[in-house]
Structure 1
Amino acid sequence: MGKYRLLALDLDGTLLNDHSEISETNLTWVRRAVEAGVTVIASTGRGFPSALPIVEQLGLESPMITVNGGEIWTKPHSLHQRTLLDSNQVMKLHALAEKHDVWFWGYTTEDIYNKEKWVGDTLERKWLKFGYYTEDLPVLNEILQEIGEWEGLELSNSSPFNIEINALGVSKASALMEVCRMLGYEMSEVVAVGDSLNDIAAIRASGLGVAMGNAQEEVKLAANIVTGSNQEHGVAQVIQNYVLRT
């Protein structure tokens, strides 16, 4: 095995193509990496329930990072660490979404709620993440500017048209560091691959930070290398050219 022992893969826009599928090429090369002794993990903004089928398709029993690092799993169904978003903050974030009349969603430890299905007992829920979506960029920027002045929030995105909010200090990078501590790896032995702002911290903190060809420009600037797009099996290219190259 080469110098990289852990491969952390974002899912949407990275491992998955535009139809939210794993290409046969990506699937083949992920399995080859695992067979070679590389620890491959999902590192995603998705919640555990929607990330799990992808992990199962890959046949992984390795750690998982979900909701941008809000949850860390030692393996599927085995929770290691969870960091909650303050319920009072969620009430304020929800009020701001209503004010601007934009699509929004929130992850709790039990379910996902959104503009079409919200909950009255916000304070009683255990929240992990909140998000906004709108293609009206001036409105999105206005929301970003306002919540950027609030304390206790970690802001990122998983597309140019959304904002994702976790508790301050929660990121894929901090979660990766904890996974490395659990496994006895160094961050220099990690390859992190992603396409959006929620991947930047992990890309910067890893031994090899990789931006997808379809990544946001800021992500490409933060990365050591840029691979092919999610439509071009960019993950497979990383495994071939860097992870399994000795």
Structure 2
Amino acid sequence: MIKLIATDLDGTLLSQVGEVSERNVQAIRQAQAAGIEVVVATGRSYKSAFEPINKAGLSCPIICLNGANIYNIAGEQLRHITMTKKIALEIFEVVNRENAYFELYTNKGVYSQDRENFLDVIINIMLSAHPEITRAEIEKRAEQRFQEESFVFTNDFRAVINDPEIEVFKALAFSLEADGLVRIKQPFLNRQDLTVTSSGFDNVEFNHPEAQKGIALEQFASQYKISLQEIMAIGDNYNDVSMLDVVGRSVAMGNAEAGVKKRCKYVTASNIEDGVAQAIEAIL
């Protein structure tokens, strides 16, 4: 019997324009009414994850930054896993050498290079990923992401990382050049002090090895005395694998990466076909 549902956001619970569909909302409410805990598990920051959930009228605990933080429904932080400054600097130097776009997720907000560069990168990436969506809609969504996150713009990431008041939770590199992403990942693969993953074809994400969705989900579930076998997890990309691999009912989205689908017991419809709702309805 499923007692807890964990769902990713982008490419999973959210539509292409970053919203929760009415069918998904109703399915989550039905699960909660049946006594099933529902938790969001995302690579986003808490603020960015909370916005679309709150807009949809839902209340859920949130595992964010790939498991570096957990927040309860009241917005209280329950988990806090940071990476070392030495590793953060190593990552920045490699990304900078490749001239790729870089974001640093910290306790003081998300650091980026500059607003125009941010918007250009996001628009180009979204246009590449969703050619069926108009540029006007893409630009609107990119601007929305700018509003959702607490962005801080800097020209000196080294100074940011070395600031004693800054704690780094996650580093993220964006590039439309596949070879560039490979070169960024390569120096950090098979290291014990870092987890390297991805939430899309266009990015690489770096976290402390304990900051993984699967580890955070197990910690969260233990508070409710829920076993991993009593959890259904739903996701679409490689930063979801750590939770999909350990739960009793793993569900890949119809739009999930092929490698993710192979690891899951079930495949639901895509995020634009209310795949999360269909997965929930199947167990109610």
Q: In 2, Cα distance between the equivalents of 1:149 and 1:72?
A: 26
Q: How does 1:59-78 map to 2 (within 5 A)?
A: 59-78=57-76
**Structure 1 equivalent of residue 256 of structure 2:** 215
**Structure 2 equivalent of residue 8 of structure 1:** 6
Q: CA deviation at 1:60?
A: 4.5
Judging changes above 3 Å, is the alpha-carbon distance between structure 1 residues 40 and 57 closer, same or farther for their aligned structure 2 residues? farther
Q: CA deviation at 1:159?
A: 0.3
Matched, 1:230 2:228: no
**Structure 2 equivalent of residue 165 of structure 1:** 206
Q: In 2, Cα distance between the equivalents of 1:233 and 1:74?
A: 25
Note the aligned Cα RMSD (angstroms).
1.4
Q: CA deviation at 1:81?
A: 1.3
**Structure 1 equivalent of residue 118 of structure 2:** none
Q: In 1, Cα distance between the equivalents of 2:207 and 2:249?
A: 25
**Structure 2 equivalent of residue 132 of structure 1:** 173
**Structure 1 equivalent of residue 218 of structure 2:** 177
Q: CA deviation at 1:188?
A: 0.6
Q: CA deviation at 1:190?
A: 0.4
Amino acid at match of 1:42: V
Q: CA deviation at 1:149?
A: 5.3
**Alpha-carbon displacement from aligned partner over 1:149-185 (angstroms, at most 9, x marks no partner):** 5541111110011111100132100001001111111
Q: How does 1:79-228 map to 2 (within 5 A)?
A: 79-116=77-114, 117-118=153-154, 119=157, 120-123=159-162, 124=164, 125-148=166-189, 150-228=191-269
Q: CA deviation at 1:122?
A: 1.2
3-state secondary structure, aligned to 1:112: strand
1:27 to 17, 22, 25: 25
3-state secondary structure, aligned to 1:113: strand
Amino acid at match of 1:122: I
- Tell me the TM-score normalised to structure 2 length: 0.81
Judging changes above 3 Å, is the alpha-carbon distance between structure 1 residues 106 and 121 closer, same or farther for their aligned structure 2 residues? closer
Judging changes above 3 Å, is the alpha-carbon distance between structure 1 residues 86 and 16 closer, same or farther for their aligned structure 2 residues? same
- Tell me the TM-score normalised to structure 1 length: 0.94
**Structure 2 equivalent of residue 18 of structure 1:** 16
Q: In 2, Cα distance between the equivalents of 1:4 and 1:178?
A: 17
Identical columns (%)? 30
| Structure 1 unpaired stretches of 5+ | none
3-state secondary structure, aligned to 1:213: coil
Q: How many positions carry a matched residue from both structures?
A: 241
| Structure 2 unpaired stretches of 5+ | 115-152
